[in-house]
């Protein structure tokens, strides 16, 4: 067999990077559970008709086929890999509504797959970490305030650059366009969503050409999209544009609540940014995008919004609000720039040196005693010269080598970084806390 | 949209079960890291030619196709989902050999997919937890002793029925068949592997018909397969059959070492069971199967063995030994029989009651103070009557409800199970340790 090559778009982290990813996941999970979110995993596959409900993403889906497809058992035909965690979650809620307590808050940290053309920060296989709160019939707007605060808590404990969340409200935009007299408010939202990509002149052209907006109306749309503030002052700026509509008022009130609560609980986190639209049709209230400060070019690392109509069965609706962290996109950037490192690529803290192969059982007992007190330990692979056994530890960044004493004499442990060696008893010796487990650090 | 149906073979645990699964994974991960195994995840997909190397499993592979396949970019065609973690790991070792330190020990806990016909304990999507140690050129046999002890440590901390590991050695079987003068020792191993399924008479028939074994030889093969002991006495029983071969001696010595080390470190864990064969061709030394005592009918919950020839590039070989825990198979059985439960289905320990919607900010501060000290807390969804807010907690098994005092008066916290209510300060109050997080318990 020849040496295999990587597959474009399917990243694989080295063990040291996977350690960092696990710590990041641990931190997210810990935060989500402190906020009362229950864990959930859904299967990797959904029926194709579920996946294609949101027409826009159809081109990205990976379809499955069994190599030896079985005409007698079609139970796994017509399946595709999920491309996000929102569609599977909406399906899960409908399937299990009778067994869930509403409002239901869950988190879900799983791989997703999209057949997109790979580029920096865009993968074909990637890890997402989602939180959502869904209720039956109606969902209180205060959950739209709560979710960004959970994300802020989760990121606060990570040694990474700060985040800034850009928030808008669909009711605000839609109400504004209605109040302005524009015929297709959702179509206007989709045009304005392209502002960063195509620029204000092209947006104005499309508003005029495709939606029949007047010069005046297009100008007002662009003026709205320019409004940005980290406090409730954005509301005055909107009102100064002279448009009035009940839906606009509702959206303004909701966005003010989000911005003010964030300013109190997590100062500097949230800015009202009225050009944020999100392409997806199903958002109906607050919409969120999040940049990693200094790394805006990779796009949003945490996006989401409120959706009132994603899950419904018969007369019953399950409105929800969710945020999704793009863990792979975030880590891909931080790994690529060496902005997140770990102190060693092996979990081992102590290598127990082996005086002779006949001492292996004794050395295994030493390692077991250390492990019993939470100190990761392994026995050296072979009874080579001690210099070679020390190099075994050194090449892996393992800080300590343990030397079992001759019969009746005490053991010793050596810090191979400093060369310092002390007598030690496997039942009591403690490494410094910072050496026990690999440490994660930012730049 | 109508209520969706489950897909056969793709299990989805309820949030309470997912909590249990996470604790099990945490325990495995903790143990593996204490033993110095580094974490690794490989992509979910492998090129089909990699997946089809082990001909026997070809029928089970799920092949991927992009819905909008792109003739200009064939980079993700010819991919399939991995059906185990050994094949991807062997590929990873070859791909990254230059960057790894050997012997390399890694663990890998990931979903796998097989298009098998579903039945109890057999899923189409399932979670595996693997440990492997690979070296360059040669691998010391003591690793075949070490791996079962790691598994024993991992299971010891879980509230589940005990496990028993059945161990054999390919060299022993192959050496015995050679010494007996059988023409195809590997073919004989495959026939004897069916012993539990087809019975001794049919095995004897196949040995005679397919391999040309004499009555005497077939009898000796069955006599070997009947040998089973929890100590080194099995070696005498083998020698009493009067067959001699250098490979048999090697296998006997290796199996004695595994059994004796296990008896010292984990009494009762390992039995030498000379009918264990494992169907796969690539095992070359110790082979392992593991039963959950009292649940033998679900088959092996942890299997593996030594493989000398799975990964090689040019002249360089990377022999290894690995064990793979079937987490989904194990949990599916335990969940199905209610043998593993959790004290509540929500991580939340305290619901902060809401006197009035205008108190939400104050109540959020209380919840934040509790969380800051590691106590999972959420604010009630609405300022309903306190009876309704208590029922909100009760329906989720949440043990405590917090009542913010009127301005200037102290808060109170109520254990809603006992009805006991005490004055409390969010900056200092502690729940009993057993209430802080959901607790996992066995039957």
Q: What is the ipTM of this complex?
A: 0.94
Tell me which H or E stretch contains A239: helix A233-239
Separation CA A308–CA A319 (nearest Å): 4
In this predicted structure, what is the pLDDT of residue A189?
87
The answer to whether B65 contacts A66, with C-beta atoms less than 8 Å apart, is no
> What residues in B contact A62, CB-CB < 8 Å?
64-67, 76
Q: Where are the alpha helices (DSSP H) in B86-169?
A: 86-96, 142-156
Question: Predicted confidence band at B115 (pLDDT cuts at 50, 70, 90)?
Answer: confident
User: What whole-number percentage of chain A has pLDDT above 70?
Assistant: 96
pLDDT per position as a tens digit, A335-346: 999 999 999 999
Separation CA B297–CA B291 (nearest Å): 9
Write the residue in B12, B76, B124 that is nearest to A7 by C-beta: B76
User: What whole-number percentage of chain A has pLDDT above 90?
Assistant: 80
Mean pLDDT for the stretch of residues A373-378: 98
Write the residue in B3, B379, B396 that is nearest to A95 by C-beta: B3
The answer to whether B376 contacts A95, with C-beta atoms less than 8 Å apart, is no
Question: Predicted confidence band at B366 (pLDDT cuts at 50, 70, 90)?
Answer: very high
Mean pLDDT for the stretch of residues A98-104: 95
> What residues in B contact A47, CB-CB < 8 Å?
4, 7
Would strands A228-229 and A270-273 be described as parallel, antiparallel, or unpaired?
Answer: antiparallel
| Distance of residue B222 Cα from the nearest chain A Cα, in angstroms | 34
In this predicted structure, what is the pLDDT of residue A183?
84
The pair of structure tokens assigned to A80 is 């595709």
The answer to whether A1 contacts B94, with C-beta atoms less than 8 Å apart, is yes
pLDDT per position as a tens digit, B135-164: 999 999 999 999 999 999 999 989 999 999
Query: Minimal Cα distance from B52: which residue of A?
Result: A67
> What residues in B contact A135, CB-CB < 8 Å?
381
Write the residue in A4, A58, A101 that is nearest to B395 by C-beta: A101
User: What whole-number percentage of chain B has pLDDT above 70?
Assistant: 96
For chains A and B, what is the number of CB pairs under 8 angstroms?
253
The answer to whether B94 contacts A39, with C-beta atoms less than 8 Å apart, is no
In this predicted structure, what is the pLDDT of residue B116?
78
- How far lies A268's CA from each of A163, A166, A297, B365, in Å? 9, 11, 20, 18
The answer to whether A106 contacts B15, with C-beta atoms less than 8 Å apart, is yes
Question: Predicted confidence band at B196 (pLDDT cuts at 50, 70, 90)?
Answer: confident
pLDDT per position as a tens digit, A421-437: 999 999 999 999 999 99
The answer to whether A4 contacts B50, with C-beta atoms less than 8 Å apart, is yes
Residue B117, pLDDT above cutoff 90: no
Write the residue in A21, A348, A382 that is nearest to B140 by C-beta: A382
Mean pLDDT of chain B: 92
In this predicted structure, what is the pLDDT of residue A311?
82
Separation CA B351–CA A263 (nearest Å): 24
| Distance of residue B187 Cα from the nearest chain A Cα, in angstroms | 25
Least confident of A32-46, A177-191, A319-333, B417-431: A177-191
Cα dihedral B168, B171, B177, B182 in deg (nearest 10)? 140
The answer to whether B376 contacts A265, with C-beta atoms less than 8 Å apart, is no
> What residues in B contact A103, CB-CB < 8 Å?
381
**A292-313: string of b/e by CB count within 10 Å (b at 16+)?**
beebeebbbbbbbbbbbebbee
In this predicted structure, what is the pLDDT of residue A265?
84
Maximum alpha-carbon separation in chain A: 95
In this predicted structure, what is the pLDDT of residue B159?
93
Residue positions counted in chain B: 443
Residue A2, pLDDT above cutoff 90: no
The answer to whether A135 contacts B33, with C-beta atoms less than 8 Å apart, is no
- Domains of chain B, CATH where assigned: 15-341 (3.30.930.10), 350-442 (3.40.50.800)
The answer to whether B364 contacts A265, with C-beta atoms less than 8 Å apart, is yes
Residue B99, pLDDT above cutoff 80: yes
Residues 6+ apart with CB under 8 A from B189: B170, B173, B174, B177, B277
Residue B56, pLDDT above cutoff 70: no
In this predicted structure, what is the pLDDT of residue A314?
80
Cα dihedral B210, B212, B213, B215 in deg (nearest 10)? 100
| Distance of residue B34 Cα from the nearest chain A Cα, in angstroms | 4
The answer to whether A61 contacts B67, with C-beta atoms less than 8 Å apart, is yes
The answer to whether B44 contacts A44, with C-beta atoms less than 8 Å apart, is yes
Q: Please classify residue B190 by burial: count the beta carbons closer than 10 Å to its beta carbon, then call 0-12 exposed, 13-18 middle and 19+ buried.
A: middle
| Distance of residue A61 Cα from the nearest chain B Cα, in angstroms | 6
Write the residue in A67, A105, A360 that is nearest to B61 by C-beta: A67
Write the residue in A34, A66, A75 that is nearest to B8 by C-beta: A75
Tell me which H or E stretch contains A132: strand A125-134
Write the residue in B34, B81, B314 that is nearest to A376 by C-beta: B34
The answer to whether B19 contacts A39, with C-beta atoms less than 8 Å apart, is yes
- Residue keyed to tokens 């079985």: A70
Mean pLDDT for the stretch of residues A111-135: 89
| Distance of residue A82 Cα from the nearest chain B Cα, in angstroms | 12
Q: B336 by DSSP, 3-state: which?
A: helix
| Distance of residue A110 Cα from the nearest chain B Cα, in angstroms | 10
Between residues B75 and B339, the one the model is more confident about: B339
Q: A411 by DSSP, 3-state: which?
A: strand
Query: Minimal Cα distance from A98: which residue of B?
Result: B3
From the list A334, A325, A345, the residue with the least C-alpha distance to A396 is A345
The answer to whether A4 contacts B95, with C-beta atoms less than 8 Å apart, is yes
The answer to whether A67 contacts B63, with C-beta atoms less than 8 Å apart, is yes
Q: How far apart are the first and last CA of chain B?
A: 39
| Distance of residue A212 Cα from the nearest chain B Cα, in angstroms | 33
Question: Predicted confidence band at A74 (pLDDT cuts at 50, 70, 90)?
Answer: low
Question: Predicted confidence band at B407 (pLDDT cuts at 50, 70, 90)?
Answer: confident
Q: A95 by DSSP, 3-state: which?
A: helix
The answer to whether B79 contacts A7, with C-beta atoms less than 8 Å apart, is yes
> What residues in B contact A73, CB-CB < 8 Å?
117
DSSP annotation string for B267-302? TTSEEEETT---S-TTEEEEEEEEEETT-GGG--SE
The answer to whether A346 contacts B50, with C-beta atoms less than 8 Å apart, is no
In this predicted structure, what is the pLDDT of residue A378?
98
Q: A403 by DSSP, 3-state: which?
A: strand
Interface test with B, best of A20, A32, A35 (most B CBs within 10 A): A35
Residue B280, pLDDT above cutoff 80: no
In this predicted structure, what is the pLDDT of residue A293?
96
Torsion region of A257: left, alpha or beta (phi above 0 gives left; psi -120 to 50 gives alpha): alpha
pLDDT per position as a tens digit, B283-303: 999 999 999 999 999 999 999
The answer to whether B18 contacts A38, with C-beta atoms less than 8 Å apart, is yes
Interface test with A, best of B9, B34, B53 (most A CBs within 10 A): B34
> What residues in A contact B61, CB-CB < 8 Å?
66-67
The pair of structure tokens assigned to B90 is 């062997």
In this predicted structure, what is the pLDDT of residue B3?
81
Separation CA B158–CA B148 (nearest Å): 16
- Could you tell me the strand order of the sheet in which B163-169 lies? B38-39, B104-113, B125-134, B320-326, B302-307, B283-292, B163-169, B270-273, B228-229
Between residues A2 and B125, the one the model is more confident about: B125
- Kindly state the DSSP code that residue B437 receives in the 8-state scheme: S
Q: At what angle do helices A215-226 and A185-192 cross, to 10 degrees?
A: 60
The pair of structure tokens assigned to A74 is 């079609």
Between residues A350 and A157, the one the model is more confident about: A350
Separation CA A103–CA A131 (nearest Å): 13
Mean pLDDT of chain A: 92
pLDDT per position as a tens digit, A244-297: 999 999 999 999 999 998 898 889 999 999 999 886 678 999 999 999 999 999
The pair of structure tokens assigned to A75 is 């139970």
């Amino acid at each position: 067999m020849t040496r295999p090559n990587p597959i474009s778009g399917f990243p694989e982290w080295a063990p040291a990077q996977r350690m960092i990813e696990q710590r990041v996941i641990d931190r997210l999970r810990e935060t989500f559970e402190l906020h009362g979110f229950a864990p959930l995993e859904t299967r990797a596959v959904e029926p194709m008709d579920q996946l294609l409900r949101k027409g826009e993403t159809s081109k990205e889906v990976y379809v499955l086929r069994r190599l030896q497809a079985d005409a007698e058992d079609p139970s796994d035909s017509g399946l595709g890999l999920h491309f996000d965690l929102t569609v599977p979650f909406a399906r899960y809620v409908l399937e299990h509504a009778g067994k869930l307590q509403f409002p239901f808050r869950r988190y879900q940290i799983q791989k997703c797959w999209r057949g997109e053309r790979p580029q920096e920060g865009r993968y074909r296989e990637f890890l997402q970490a989602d939180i959502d709160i869904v209720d039956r019939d109606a969902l209180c707007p205060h959950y739209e305030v709560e979710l960004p605060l959970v994300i802020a808590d989760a990121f606060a404990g990570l040694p990474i650059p700060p985040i800034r969340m850009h928030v808008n409200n669909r009711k605000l935009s839609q109400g504004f366009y209605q109040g302005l007299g524009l015929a297709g408010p959702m179509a206007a939202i989709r045009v304005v969503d392209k502002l960063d990509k195509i620029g204000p002149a092209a947006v104005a052209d499309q508003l005029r050409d495709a939606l029949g907006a007047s010069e005046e109306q297009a100008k007002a749309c662009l003026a709205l999209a320019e409004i940005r503030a980290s406090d409730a002052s954005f509301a005055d700026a909107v009102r100064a544009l002279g448009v009035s509509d009940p839906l606009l008022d509702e959206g303004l009130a909701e966005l003010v609540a989000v911005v003010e609560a964030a300013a109190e609980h997590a100062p500097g986190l949230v800015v009202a940014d009225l050009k944020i639209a999100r392409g997806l049709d199903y958002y109906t209230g607050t919409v969120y995008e999040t940049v990693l400060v200094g790394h805006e070019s990779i796009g949003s690392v945490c996006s989401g919004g409120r959706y009132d109509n994603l899950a419904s069965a018969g007369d019953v609706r399950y409105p929800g609000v969710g945020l999704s962290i793009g863990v792979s996109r975030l880590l891909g950037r931080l790994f690529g720039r060496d902005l997140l490192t770990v102190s060693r690529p092996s979990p081992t803290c102590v290598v127990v040196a082996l005086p002779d192969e006949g001492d292996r059982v004794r050395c295994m007992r030493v390692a077991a005693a250390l492990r019993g007190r939470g100190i990761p330990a392994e026995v050296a692979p072979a009874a080579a010269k001690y210099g070679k056994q020390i190099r075994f530890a050194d090449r892996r960044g393992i800080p300590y080598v343990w030397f079992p004493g001759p019969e009746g004499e005490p053991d010793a442990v050596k810090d191979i970084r400093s060369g310092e060696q002390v007598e030690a008893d496997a039942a009591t010796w403690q490494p410094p806390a910072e050496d026990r487990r690999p440490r994660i650090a930012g730049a």
